[in-house]
Amino acid sequence: MLLAASWVVMILSHECGHIIGGMTCGATLTDFDLAPWRMPYSLHSPDPHPLVTLWAGPMLGIAVPISLAVIIRKRWAWFVADFCLIANGGYLALAWLSGDRFLDTRRLLDAGAHPATIVIYCVLTIATGYIWFRSDCIHYLKRTPKPQTGGVP
């Protein structure tokens, strides 16, 4: 259940980041889909500052869940935030490898993003997310010893 919630938070924070980024720099939102069971998207046209619109997705995709985890201060909130770190970094890395022109990485590069910025983002989010998420998984998946009852094995 926690993993499904993490997926929905990641989808919404990332895609809403694109929408908010576009709104803040004067882009016109022409279409969007936020359904978590298919590939979400947002289309802006015209978009006077596509780098802002495009970077806002992965940046708010990690900033919002981490900020909420800091405020909530519960282990499950950090699980969600750490998942979002790995998912956003992993998405940009895998999108780069796929070369798909409709995914964020190709669009970032086409809009003028320096490849090093994408690499740095991916390395930082995936590495940090992996370390923290691994700890979260160990916490939630560890077996707790059964209490002993009156000497009966």
149 belongs to a structural domain: no
User: 10 Å Cβ neighbour count for 48?
Assistant: 12
Mean pLDDT for 13-18 is 98
Query: For the ranges 16-30, 103-117, 131-145, which has the lowest average pLDDT?
Result: 131-145
152 belongs to a structural domain: no
pLDDT of residue 153: 52
Beta bridge mates, 66: none
- Contact between 110 and 94 (Cβ < 8 Å): no
Count of structural domains within the chain: 1
pLDDT digits (tens, 9 = 90+) for 24-66: 999 999 999 999 899 899 999 999 999 999 999 999 999 999 9
73 belongs to a structural domain: yes
Residue 75 has pLDDT above 90, yes or no: yes
Q: In percent, how much of the chain has pLDDT > 70?
A: 94
34 belongs to a structural domain: yes
71 belongs to a structural domain: yes
- Contact between 19 and 47 (Cβ < 8 Å): no
Q: How does residue 147 score in pLDDT terms, banded at 50, 70 and 90?
A: low
Average pLDDT, the chain: 94
6 belongs to a structural domain: yes
Residue 152 has pLDDT above 60, yes or no: no
Beta bridge mates, 41: 33
pLDDT of residue 106: 97
Entry pTM: 0.89
44 belongs to a structural domain: yes
The distance from CA 125 to its chain's CA centroid, rounded to whole angstroms, is: 9
Distance, in Å, from the CA atom of 36 to the CA atom of 140, rounded to the nearest integer, reads 24
Residue of 27, 37, 30, 45 whose CA lies nearest to 4:
37
Distance, in Å, from the CA atom of 37 to the CA atom of 20, rounded to the nearest integer, reads 22
Residue of 72, 69, 50, 61 whose CA lies nearest to 132:
69
Per-residue burial over 55-80, b if 16 or more Cβ lie within 10 Å, else e, is bbbbbbbbebbbebbeeeeeebbbbb
- The residue range of the domain holding 68 is 2-141
151 belongs to a structural domain: no
